[in-house]
Structure 1
Amino acid sequence: MAKSKTWMMALVVVAAMALGACGKAAEGTPSSSPGNGSGEDSISAQTGGETESNEPVTFTYYHFAPGKKDVLASETVIGKELQKQTGVDWKLEYVVGDSTTKAGVMIASGEYPDVISSSGEMSKLMDAEAYIPLDDLIEEHAPNIKRVYGPYFDKMRHTDGKIYTLPYTANQGEYIGGPNIGGGAFWIQRSVLKEFNYPEIKTLDEYFDFIKKYKEKYPKVDGMDTIGFVSLAGVANNFFTLQNPAMHLAGYPNDGSVIVDMETHEAKIVAGTEYQKRWIGKLNEINAEGLFDPESFTMNKDQYLAKLTSGRVLGYFNYAWQVGDATKNLLSAGIDEKRYAPLPIVFDKDIKDQYIDPPGFVANYGIGITTKAEDPVRIIKYFDNLLKEENQILVQWGIKDQTYSVDENGRFYFANDEQRKYHDDLELSRTFGFTYFVTDWPKYGGESTLSDGNAFSPGNQSEVASYSYTEGDKAILEAYGVKTFSELFNKPDPRPWFPSWSIALEQGSPEQIFATKSDDLQRKHLPTLILESPSKFEPAWEAYISELNKLDKETYEATITKAVQDRVAGKW
C-alpha cells in the first residue's frame, strides 16, 4: 500500500481539474475549445460550412436517464456547431430520482417538453399518447432518416402501424464488435489481479475467493475499510444490475427478465429460479463474511460512483455504460492498479459465457417529438441534419486534427494523448459535447461502420484501442495472452430475437402487470435475502417464492415466448 498517498494526491488533482472545468462551463464555453485550433473554424472546414438560414430557436429535450448535468447544447462545441448549421439550440434535461414517478407526474399534468428520450418509460408515454406520429414528417423532410432507419421501419412501427420514435440501434455498414467491454461484466480491481500474479478467474466462487484474500491482506485503504463488493441496487432505475447477473452467470446474455432456450425459443423468467437463488445466496454468504457493502441499497448514483473512484472497492457488477464517469476519473488519476478489469464470470467452469451482446435491434428505447412541440418540422429537420455522415462523425469522433487524426490509409486514430483525452477525460468530454451527443439522439447503431470502413464508435476502432491502452492495460492483456479485453470473453451466439427486453408490453395487460409486480417483489425481497443471516436465508427465500408464485407468470412467459418465436420467424 505504499502508493496510497500518491493515489490520494492524484484524486485531488483530478477533482480540482473537474471543479475548474465545471466553473468554466458555468461561465459559458469559449468560442474555441482547448487543443489544436478553433473548434468552430475546424468543424466548419470539416462539414463544408453548409447551413440553412433559420431563425434561432431553443427546444426542450428531456431524458429519462440519470447521470448527466442539465445544460444548453450550445454550451458545448458540438452543440454550438449544430446550432450554427440549423439555428436550433436545446435545453437538455435529465431525470433526477425515480423515473417512474417523474413519468407519472408528466403524464398526469399533460405538460411535456418538445422532445423526450424514453429510456424505460416508453410504454407509459405511448399509452398516454405523448408522442406524435413521424411518418409524414419523415417522408416530407427527412431523407437521411429514411436512409438510416429505412431498413428498420417495419420493426419500428407501433401497433397502429405508425412510427413514433427513432431508436438508437440502427446499425449501418458492417457490424463490428468492440475490442473493449461496453456491456456487462464482473469487474475486479486490478490490484487484486496483480497481487495474485494474474490468476485465471472463471467462476463466481473463485471471484469472491480472491477478493476475500485481498481484503484480508489489505483491510484498509487510507484509513478506511476496504469494500469487497458493491452494487448499484439502491438506484431504482438500476435495480436490474442486481437482477441480471443470475442470467449471465448461467451463460445467457441480457435478455431482460427472461432466459430463452436456444432450441425451442421458449422464454422463462429468471426471478425465483435456482439461478437467482444461487446468485442471491452467494451475496448472502459474502455479506455474512463482511465482503458486501450494505450501503448498496441506500446510495444514490453519485455516491456509488464516488466509491468506485475511491480506491476502496475491489469488485462490482455493472454494464460499462453505467459507470462511465467513474471510469474516466480513474483513468485521469493515472494509477492503473485502482482501475478495474472485466471478467466473464459464470457459476461453473463448463458454462460458456455470453456477456457480449449479439447483433440486435431495440425499438422501445428512443427519441420522439411530443404533442406539445410547436414546430415538429424544425425538429425533424434537425434530426435529419444530425444523421448526415459528417455530423455522425462529428458527434462520435469530433474534429479532424483536434480530437482525432486520419492516417495515409484514411483510418481514424488518436495521434496523441491530447486527442484521446477529449474522449476519456470527464470534464473535457462534457465541454466538447461527447458526453451529451454520443448517445440519446437519432444515430447510427453503436456497432456500425462508416461508408469509408472506419468504425462509427471510436472505441470499436482497433487503432484507437491499441493506442489508448495504458501500460497497466498492456500488462494485463499480456498476462492473459490476449490483445484486447473482449478476447477474454466468448463471442456471442446468434440470437435473431435479441434482446427480448425490447418486446413492448401493453399497459394494463396481464403480462405488463406481472412484470411490474414481479419487479416490486424483487425490490422488496432481494435486499432482505442478501442482508439476512445465513441461517434465515431459506425461510426468507420460501416467503419470496410464495408471493412470486401468486403472480401470473404463465401468461407473461407465453407472451414473451410468442414474441420471440415471431421474431425468429421474421415477424416484428
Structure 2
Amino acid sequence: MSKKLLLVCMAAIMVLITACSNNNNTGSSNPPANTAGTNETAEGDAPEQQEKVTFSYFNGVAAAKDINTNETTIGKMLEDQTGVNFKIEHLVGDLNTKIGTMIASNEYPDVMIPDAAIDKILDAGAFIALDDLIEQYGPNIKRVYGPYFNQMKAADGKIYFLPFSNVVGEFIPDPNIGQGAFWVQRRVLKEAGYPKVNTLDGYMDLVKNFVEKHKDEDLTGFISLTHDWRFFSTSNPPMHLLGYPNDGNITIDMTTHEAKVYAATDATKRWLQKLNDLNAQGLFDKASFVDNYDQYLAKLTSGKVVGFFDYGWQFQNAQSALTDAAKLDPAKDDFVYFPLPVTFDGQKDQYLDPPGFVKNRGMGITVSAKDPVRIIKYLDNLLTDENQILQRWGIKGETYEVDENGRMFRTAEQIAKIDEPFNESFGFKYYSWNWPLYGNGSSYADGNSVAPGLQPEVFQMSLTEADKVILEKYGVKTYAELFAAPDDRPWFPAWGIPKEQGSEQQIWETKKDEITKKYFPKLVLAKPADFEKVWTEYTTEFGKLDTAGYEKWTTDEVKKLIDTASSK
C-alpha cells in the first residue's frame, strides 16, 4: 500500500470513529436557537451531550393518566434538546395521605407539585433551596420570575419552588371562563328561551323547572364537589354570590381593605339553606359529600347533571369530553355547560380574576432528587420563547400558523383535530400548566398571546355553530363578556399570601376546614325543620376560633401588598 493511500485510509477511519462517537449520545442539553433575542443560556455553558435520564415527577393537582413525557410529541422534542424525560405520577386518592406517606418515609420523587399540601412539604424540609441553582443555571428563570423573586422567598429568604401564575408581557384577558361560575346545561337555557339569569333564586328555579319537565330522564338537579382539598368548590360560593372574587377564606372591602371571614355569616347560611331546600326537593345529589373527584367528573360527562358551581379549570376534563362529543354529534351540544354570573340579588359580579400572582403553589425539586442541576437546566430551557410556543401553540404548520402580520392563529382543520386524545398524545395536556411557564394572560414581545385560547383569532375560530348561536342569543361575542370586568386588586389573590407551617393563621385555616367539612354536610342534608338547630351548633363551634386575629393578620398583609404596589 502506498504512503498516500495509507494516509487516505487513516483519515477515513478517523472520520468514521468521530461520527460513531457523536452518534453514541443522542441527547442534547442545548436549548433552541434564540430567535427572539429575549432568551438566555447560562454563562460559560458550552454545547454538551449527556446520557439520557428519567426523573420522577408527582403532580398532586391534575387529573390525568400517568405517563412518561417522552411519550408525547412535546416531551420527546424536549428530551431531544436536553436528554431529560420525566415519569409523571398523578394523584389518586387523598392528597394529605399521599404526602404524609412521603414525609414519613422521607422518600420523594425528584420534583413535585404538592398543591394544597405544600406547607407540609416545606415544613418537612422536602424541597431544596433553588437560589444557587437559579443563579448558576437559570438565566431564563431569572428573566421570567425576577420581578416576583421577593414575593417567592420563604421566611428564611430562600426560594423553594416556582409558581405558575407569573405574567410576562402585556396582560391579555381570557375570553373563556376558566374561573368560577354557576354552570347549566345549554339545553336548559334553550328550552327556557335564553333568559337572562343573574340571581341565585332565578338560577335554582331554572334548574328546578327543567328537572320537573323531564322527570322521565332521571336527572340530577344540582351537584357539588367536596373531595379532599377541592372542598372549596362548596365553601367558596358565598363570596362570589356577594359579588367578590376568589380571595379564599375572606372578602376584602374595596374602600377600607378590611378582610372579613364569611364562613359563618348570613351569606354562607343563605347559600347552605338554598342547598338544603334543593335536597328536600330531591334536586341535590347527596353523594356530593362522598364522591371523589373522578366520580364527580364522570357524573358531569353523563348528561344527567343539570347544574353546579365550579371553576372552569377544575372541571375542564369533563367539559372537554362534552365538547369533543358535540363536535362529532352537534345534537350533544345540549349537554355542554354554559357559565352564568350568578349573585344573590343580581349585584355586580366579580368572577373574573384580575391580574395576580399566586405565591403559595408551585413546583419544587426535592431532597431525593438525583441531579438537581440537570433538572433546573431542563426547567430553565422550558422558559425560552421557542419552548413556550412549543408548549402552548405546538408546531408551526401542524398545530398553528403565522399570517403576514406575524399574528399566530389556527386553521379550522387544526382546531378540529386538537381534541382530548390529541392533547394527550401531543402533550398539550401535560405541558400547558404545572411547569415553569409564562403564566395565563401573558404575551410575547410581538403582541401574540402565550395561551392560544386567549388569542382573539383562535377563540373566534374555535367557536362551533352552537357556540355562536348561544352567544348571539345573549348579545356577546365571548363568554367573558357575560361577566363584569374585574376591578383592580393589587393583593389578589389573598389566599395566595404565604403562611408559615404551624403559624396561628395556618392553624386557624386547618381548624376552619375541619369544622366546615364536618357541619356543611349536616346542614345541607338536614331536615328543613332542623336547619336552624344545626346552624347554631355550627356557629357555636366556629365561634371558638380566633377569627378576629385571622382577619387582622390578613388585613395587615393585604395593606402591605397595596403599599408595595403603590411604591412601584
Task: Provide Cα deviations, 1:145-200, integer angstroms capped at 9, x if missing partner.
Answer: 11101111111111111111111011111011011111111001000100011001
Q: Do structure 1's residue 266 and structure 2's residue 262 form an aligned pair?
A: no
**Counterpart code for 1:197:** G
Aligned to 2:355: 359
Q: Is the 8 A contact 1:402 1:419 kept in 2?
A: no
Shift of 1:255: 0.3
* 2:307 counterpart SS class: strand
Q: CA deviation at 1:309?
A: 1.3
Aligned to 1:130: 126
1:164 to 2:160 alignment: yes
- Equivalent position of 2:509 in the other structure: 515
Q: Are 2:344 and 1:347 equivalent residues in the alignment?
A: yes
499, 502, 510: which is aligned to 1:505?
499
Q: Cα deviation per residue 1:200-229 (whole Å; 9 max; x = unaligned)?
A: 1010000011111111111233xxx11111
The alpha carbon displacement at 1:420 in A equals 4.2
The alpha-carbon deviation at position 95 of structure 1 amounts to 1.4
Alignment of 1:270-289 (within 5 A): 270-289=262-281
Are residue 570 (structure 1) and residue 567 (structure 2) matched?
Answer: no
Question: What's 1:146 paired with?
Answer: 142
Amino acid at match of 1:524: K
- Following superposition of structure 1 onto structure 2, how do residues 65-214 of structure 1 map, counting pairs within 5 Å? 65-214=61-210
Shift of 1:66: 4.2
What corresponds to 2:453 in structure 1? 459
SS in 1 for 2:86: strand
Q: 1:231 aligns with which of 204, 218, 224?
A: 224
Q: Which amino acid aligns with 1:570?
A: T
Distance 1:247 1:238 in 2: 16
Please give the alpha-carbon distance, in whole angstroms, between the structure 2 residues aligned to 1:148 and 1:94.
27
1:244 aligned residue (236, 239, 249) = 236
Unpaired runs of 5+ residues, structure 1, are: 1-42
Asked if the contact 1:77/1:432 (under 8 Å) is kept, the reply is: yes
Between 1:246-255 and 1:162-171, the stretch displaced more is 162-171
Q: Is 413-422 or 269-278 further displaced after alignment?
A: 413-422
- Equivalent position of 1:59 in the other structure: 55
CA contact (8 A) 1:47 1:391 kept: no
Instruction: Map Cα deviations across residues 365-404 of structure 1 (whole Å, 9 max, x no partner).
Output: 1111111112111111001111011000101111111111
Report the residue type matching 1:340 in the other structure. Y
Aligned residue pairs, count: 522
Aligned equivalents of 1:110, 1:531: Cα separation in 2: 41
Measured after TM superposition, the shift of residue 448 of structure 1 is 0.2
Report deviation, 1:44: 8.6
Residues 52-94 of structure 1: CA deviation (Å, up to 9, x unaligned): 5121111111112141111111111111110000000101111
Name the SS of the counterpart of 1:166 in structure 2.
coil
Higher mean C-alpha deviation, range 239-248 or range 407-416: 407-416
Q: 1:310 aligns with which of 302, 309, 320?
A: 302
2:374 is aligned with 1:381: no
Taking structure 1 as reference, are residues 79 and 467 closer, same or farther at Cα in structure 2, changes over 3 Å only? same
Residue 46 of structure 1 and its aligned partner are, at CA, apart by 11
Match of 1:291 among 270, 274, 283: 283
Residue 315 (structure 2) aligned to one of 309, 318, 323: 323
Specify the alignment match of 1:7 in structure 2. none
Q: Deviations over 1:339-375 (max 9, x none)?
A: 01100100002x1100001110111111111111121
Read off the aligned partner of 1:483 and give its amino acid letter.
K
Contact 2:180-2:351 within 8 A present in 1 as well: yes
Deviation, structure 1 residue 418? 3.6
TM-score by length of 1: 0.89
The offset of 1:416, in angstroms, is: 2.1
* Gap change, CA 1:474 and 1:347, over 3 Å in 2: same
Distance in structure 2 (CA, Å) of the matches to 1:55 and 1:184: 45
Q: Residues 52 and 284 of structure 1: is their aligned pair in 2 closer, same or farther, counting only changes over 3 Å?
A: farther
CA distance in 2, matches of 1:452, 1:355: 29
User: Is the Cα contact below 8 Å between 2:167 and 2:441 reproduced in 1?
Assistant: yes
Question: 1:220 aligns to what?
Answer: 216
Per-residue CA deviation, residues 451-483 of structure 1 (Å, 9 max, x unaligned), is 221111111111111111111111111111111
Q: How far is 1:135 from its partner?
A: 1.1
Q: Match of 1:18? A: none
The counterpart of 2:463, out of the listed 469, 474, 487, is 469
* Alpha-carbon distance, 1:313 to partner: 1.0
Distance 1:420 1:546 in 2: 55
Separation of aligned partners in 1, 2:549 and 2:365 = 33
Gaps of 5+ in 2: 1-30, 42-46, 327-331
Say if 1:250 and 1:275, in contact at 8 Å, map to a contact too. yes
Q: Is the 2:415–2:462 Cα contact (8 Å) retained in structure 1?
A: no
Specify the code of the residue in structure 1 equivalent to 2:563. A
Contact 2:99 2:114 in 1 (8 A): no
Q: Is the 8 A contact 1:167 1:366 kept in 2?
A: yes
Distance 2:62 2:545 in 1: 31
- Deviation of 1:118 after TM superposition, in Å, equals 2.6
CA contact (8 A) 2:394 2:400 kept: yes
Q: Does 1:393 align with 2:389?
A: yes
**CA deviation after TM superposition for structure 1 residue 408, in Å:** 1.8
The one-letter code sitting in structure 2 at the alignment partner of 1:519 is D
Give me the whole-angstrom Cα distance separating, in 2, the residues matched to 1:399 and 1:275: 49
How far apart are 1:101 and its partner, in Å? 1.6
What's the % identity of the aligned pairs? 53
Aligned partners of 2:400 and 2:414 also within 8 Å: no
1:439 matched to 2:436: no
Instruction: Indicate conservation of the 8 Å contact 2:412/2:462, yes or no.
Output: no
Asked if the contact 1:46–1:400 (Cα under 8 Å) also holds between the matched residues in 2, the reply is: no
SS of equivalent residue, structure 2 residue 520: helix
Partner SS state of residue 229, structure 1: strand
Q: Does 1:255 align with 2:252?
A: no
Structure 1 residues 66 and 97 mapped into 2: Cα distance closer, same or farther (>3 Å)?
A: farther
8 Å contact from structure 1 (residues 52, 86) kept in 2: no
Query: How big is the shift at 1:47?
Result: 8.9
C-alpha root-mean-square deviation of aligned residues, in Å? 1.8
Shift of 1:105: 1.6
TM-score (structure 2 length as normaliser)? 0.89
Map Cα deviations across residues 259-290 of structure 1 (whole Å, 9 max, x no partner). 11111111111210111111111100111111
Aligned partner letter, 1:514: W
Q: Which residue of 1 aligns with 2:554?
A: 560
Higher mean C-alpha deviation, range 188-197 or range 111-120? 111-120
For residues 174 and 343 of structure 1, the distance between their equivalents in structure 2, rounded to whole angstroms, comes to 28
Q: Deviations over 1:516-561 (max 9, x none)?
A: 0110111011011111111111001000001000112122112111
Larger Rg: 2
Question: What's 1:3 paired with?
Answer: none
